[in-house]
Amino acid sequence: MLFISEYGQILLILACIFGFFMAWGVGANDVANAMGTSVGSGALTVKQAIIIAMIFEFAGAYLAGGEVTATIRKGMIDASVMAGTPELLVFGMLSALLAAGIWLFVASSFGWPVSTTHSIVGAIIGFAAVGIGIDAVVWSKVWAIVASWVISPLLSGTIAYMLIRSVQKFILDSADPLSNAIKYVPVYMFFTGFMIGMVTLVKGLKHIGLHISTGESLFYATIFGIIVAMIGKYLLNRVKPDPLAERDSRFGNVESIFAVLMIFTACAMAFAHGSNDVANAVGPLAAIVGIVNSGGEVLQKSIMPPWILLLGGAGIVFGLITLGFKVMKTVGTKITELTPTRGFAAELSAATTVVLASGVGIPVSTTHTLVGAVLGVGLARGISAINLRVVGSIFLSWLVTLPAGAGLAIIFFFMFKGMFLT
């Protein structure tokens, strides 16, 4: 198509800039979902959390980010509707990236833990429904994604509740909590390592050309889980009982052990977050690259170039370094009081939920997932343990995110249309 061949390079440059900006917003806002509980519980300092997140957010985005990108890229818009006007899809995806990035910048500046998935989905629905037509939106896909926003916090909250109850039963309520912690914590470490191993082997390694069967993946992930548990056991054996730690609470030494465990769960959550939420930035970017490289053809499927995942991962890391600490503080300290045992339960359940969703290509909101997990942990101590005012304000910010993303995307869509087609 003449328009694509004439403006293709400009469109690609804009797409990369806006895609990186959107990825920056993902890192600045959603890093709280990966690291907020670790910092809030005192298991990690902000600096330590950022270093861990830099490594595992990037690894998750690059190694395991491809499955979810397919849903964002081609799941919500009917490509056949725009087969004759690919430039409209390009304008729309540029608008969606810019709109979601701006909203995330505003929210992150104020420390609001909004959903990056909400932001980009609302932006895509906005430009497609208003700028192109209602028929351009595949509403069945949209409703499935919306349903996942309800299911994911319920699932993560349930898992978190069961995890913290298991900790209470086997460790905290026992006659010798410290000895039982040393005995049972490696089991939790195994499941953390196993989960990271499975998502990497089943989904991630295909991006570098290495395909492993499900059976082989189960075997290797089990081995990795055992290695993580052995490392954890070694570290736990070096923990010495500290009488001062139990001066205010008989669980002081146990909490110290779970602080060690949270290093592993923090890695798992960062990896899971990177694998799931990189799609919010690179999905629309991949759609634009596919159209430009094909000369204007709106493809139902296209190969995800590795450089796009690299750009998305780099943007996430840059965002969490520059502004991630603000939302991290909100999630980690203002919903409910977190200790390492509670933070562990919340992180591991949230990571498990996100990884499961990423594996089947559902772009769940890590914000919803993590908040659901923290609420599950809080409910284990009773409703009074939860700051309902903060939770209410978080829910309100979620509701505002959809129309904010949609409204900005509609404005930018017609702006780009006027700039390039007049």
Question: For 227-271, what is each residue's pLDDT tens digit?
Answer: 989 988 888 787 777 776 666 667 778 888 888 778 877 887 787
Residue 88 pLDDT > 60: yes
pLDDT in tens, 303-340: 667 788 889 888 988 998 888 888 887 777 778 888 88
Residue 303 confidence (pLDDT): 62
pLDDT of residue 20: 95
**CA-to-CA dists, residue 256 to 29, 239, 263, 346, angstroms:** 28, 8, 12, 17
Q: Model confidence over 353-402: pLDDT tens digits?
A: 877 776 666 667 777 888 899 899 988 888 888 888 888 888 888 888 88
In the prediction, which pLDDT does 223 show? 95
Per-residue pLDDT band for 164 (boundaries 50, 70, 90) equals: very high
Tally helices (H) and strands (E) across the chain: 14, 0
Cα-only R_g, the chain: 22
Ramachandran angles phi, psi of 355, nearest 5°: -65, -40
Task: Round the average pLDDT of the chain to a whole number and report it.
Answer: 82
pTM of the full structure? 0.82
- 386 backbone dihedrals φ, ψ, rounded to 5°: -105, 135
Q: What is the pLDDT of residue 69?
A: 57
At 14 the pLDDT is 95
Which residue do the tokens 């629905």 mark? Answer: 125
Provide the greatest CA pair distance for the chain.
Answer: 77
Look up residue 381 and give its DSSP letter: T
Q: Which two tokens stand for residue 402?
A: 């959809």
